């Protein structure tokens, strides 16, 4: 097999580490560049092991420390620093695949750079798509960049579609009647909402089925993760919000489903292990070994499905509402959510304040229908400023 060069943006995170674990099993894939914000100890170990051509550290202080470490090490890896360098390694001519695994809006520019350069984009950084929606999909159409969703639900849907190309062609649009996004329900599925005030960050980060970074873990606990995924599904597959249903499936074995016009429903099943969607993206259109254990349905015993409780988890409704509004609404939702989650993790606001804060920010910013990238960036900053003002004045514990 010919060697394929990969840039992993966010290689020290949960998705980044799982990506490297899949690479370990597939020697024809090699690392071109790695990146992290601050965790240079792990990043340095990754550099020694994978010998990338470039390593990017975005935090200036951490970059200085990394430079000292690399100077004494037996490696030719070149250090680049700052956020712009992420775009450089995402669009370099020598790269074929870019794994976008930075968390939050911080991944937007590099994700866009990879798409504009026509790279195969393995999209884990859902926030980038939620923020820029049609603009990102349009950029992919123009450059021919295939977008392979790594979010397990969207990856499942992608696998169930006949041609498995991101964005449906007209014939597929006609035959798909509905997508069903499954949700584990998160750690508080069975906790009484009257007790939500007492929820600690540690409890919110303890997901029953998936081991993930802290931000997405809190999103899963509030069900905002499913709200963001609802928006993500509309843009990725070019469908209307009415065609998407969310179903709570606590076993997390069925990762999502596609309904077709003849009554057929296709689902993708597997253990809840991100190495499966990651290996699918890396190998596409072939399949590669992922290292995930095989699914044993006898051991799973039963698969349950219940409707989500949006009164208990209002973040899901907020996400669906933003999907209906489109335009700048998803970017406002995302910015407010990122600030709310950070404030919750810092102990500044309680768990029930997360949806209240997001709703308050959304109510203050009117939705613009066809935003440019510049407008989205402005509105992101504006929404964060309003969120932080509200955190200080009204929502602080
Ligand atoms: P994580 O917190 O474990 O890792 C985040 C990575 O991004 C780290 O490498 C970190 O150094 C880097 N990073 C953080 N802030 C940065 C900044 N300001 N500038 C540059 N780099 C920065 O997160 P994760 O769980 O791996 O999630 C990554 C993305 O994948 C998120 O968008 C998440 O929603 C999505 N995702 C994750 C999972 C999962 O199982 N972890 C599943 C589906 C989707
Ligand atoms: Mg998901």
Domains of the chain: which residue ranges?
4-145, 327-397
Taking residue 270's Cβ as centre, other Cβ atoms within 10 Å add up to: 22
* The pLDDT of residue 70: 97
* pLDDT tens digits along 272-290: 999 999 999 999 999 999 9
Average pLDDT over residues 136-154: 96
Q: Whose CA is nearest to atom 40 of ligand 1?
A: 212
Domain 4-145 has CATH 3.40.50.1000: no
Spatial separation of the C-alpha atoms in residues 72 and 105, rounded to whole Å: 34
Q: What is the CA radius of gyration of the chain?
A: 20
* pLDDT tens digits along 294-308: 999 999 999 999 999
Please count the residues of the chain.
Answer: 397
Residue 238 main-chain phi, psi, to 5 deg = 65, 35
Task: Looking at the CA of residue 104, tell me the nearest atom of ligand 1.
Answer: 32
Ligand whose nearest atom lies closest to the CA of 14: 1
Task: Name the least confident of 182-191, 205-214, 324-333.
Answer: 205-214
* The pLDDT of residue 15: 98
Q: Whose CA is nearest to atom 2 of ligand 1?
A: 213
Report field, pTM of the whole predicted structure over 0.75: yes
**Which residues on adjacent β-strands are paired with residue 183?**
248
* pLDDT tens digits along 93-123: 999 999 999 999 999 999 999 999 999 999 9
282 CA to centre of ligand 1 in angstroms: 18
The larger pLDDT score, comparing residue 261 to residue 2, is at 261
Residue among 285, 305, 363 at smallest CA distance from 329: 363
Q: In the numeric block, which tokens belong to residue 98?
A: 């870019």
* pLDDT tens digits along 170-209: 666 678 999 999 999 999 999 999 999 999 999 999 988 8
Mutate to test the pocket of ligand 1, among 131, 208, 216 (most ligand atoms within 8 A of CB): 216
218 CA to centre of ligand 1 in angstroms: 13
DSSP one-letter string for 353-367: HHHHHHHHHHHHSPP
Alpha-carbon distances of 248 from 13, 66, 206, 348, rounded to whole Å: 26, 44, 18, 30
* The pLDDT of residue 109: 97
Domain 327-397 has CATH 1.10.443.10: no
* The pLDDT of residue 31: 98
Ligand whose nearest atom lies closest to the CA of 214: 1
* The pLDDT of residue 209: 86
* The pLDDT of residue 168: 57
309 CA to centre of ligand 2 in angstroms: 18
Q: Whose CA is nearest to atom 41 of ligand 1?
A: 212
Q: Whose CA is nearest to atom 4 of ligand 1?
A: 13
């Amino acid at each position: 097999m010919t060697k394929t060069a990969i840039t992993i943006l966010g290689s020290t995170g949960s998705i980044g580490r799982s990506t490297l674990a899949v690479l370990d099993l597939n020697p024809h894939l090699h690392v071109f560049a790695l990146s992290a914000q601050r965790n240079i100890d792990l990043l340095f170990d990754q550099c020694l092991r994978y010998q990338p051509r470039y390593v990017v550290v975005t935090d200036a202080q951490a970059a200085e420390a990394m430079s000292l470490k690399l100077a004494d090490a037996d490696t030719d890896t070149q250090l680049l620093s700052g956020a712009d360098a992420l775009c450089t390694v995402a669009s370099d001519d020598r790269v074929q695949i870019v794994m976008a695994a930075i968390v939050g809006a911080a991944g937007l520019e590099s994700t866009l750079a990879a798409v504009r350069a026509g790279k195969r984009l393995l999209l884990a950084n859902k926030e980038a798509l939620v923020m820029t929606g049609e603009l990102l999909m349009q950029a992919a159409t123009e450059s021919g960049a295939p977008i392979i969703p790594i979010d397990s639900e969207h990856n499942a849907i992608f696998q169930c579609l006949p041609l498995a190309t991101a964005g449906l062609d007209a014939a597929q649009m006609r035959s798909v009647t509905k997508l069903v996004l499954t949700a584990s329900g998160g750690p508080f599925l069975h906790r009484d909402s009257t007790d939500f005030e007492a929820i600690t960050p540690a409890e919110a980060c303890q997901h029953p089925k998936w081991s993930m970074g802290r931000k997405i873990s809190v999103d899963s606990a509030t069900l905002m993760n499913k709200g963001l995924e609802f928006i993500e599904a509309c843009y990725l597959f070019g469908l209307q919000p009415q065609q998407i249903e969310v179903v709570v499936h606590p076993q997390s074995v069925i990762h999502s489903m596609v309904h077709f016009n003849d009554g057929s429903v296709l689902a993708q099943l597997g253990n809840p292990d991100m190495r499966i969607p990651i290996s699918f993206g890396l190998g596409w259109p072939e399949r590669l070994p992922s290292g995930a254990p095989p699914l044993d349905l006898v051991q799973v015993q039963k698969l349950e499905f219940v409707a989500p409780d949006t009164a208990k988890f209002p973040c899901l409704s907020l996400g669906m509402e933003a999907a209906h509004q489109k335009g700048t609404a998803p970017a406002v939702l995302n910015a407010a959510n990122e600030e709310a989650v950070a404030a919750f993790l810092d102990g500044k606001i309680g768990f029930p304040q997360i949806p209240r804060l997001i709703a308050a920010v959304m109510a203050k910013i009117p939705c613009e229908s066809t935003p440019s990238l510049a407008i989205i960036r402005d509105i992101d900053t504006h929404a964060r400023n309003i969120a932080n003002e509200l955190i200080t004045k009204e929502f602080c514990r």
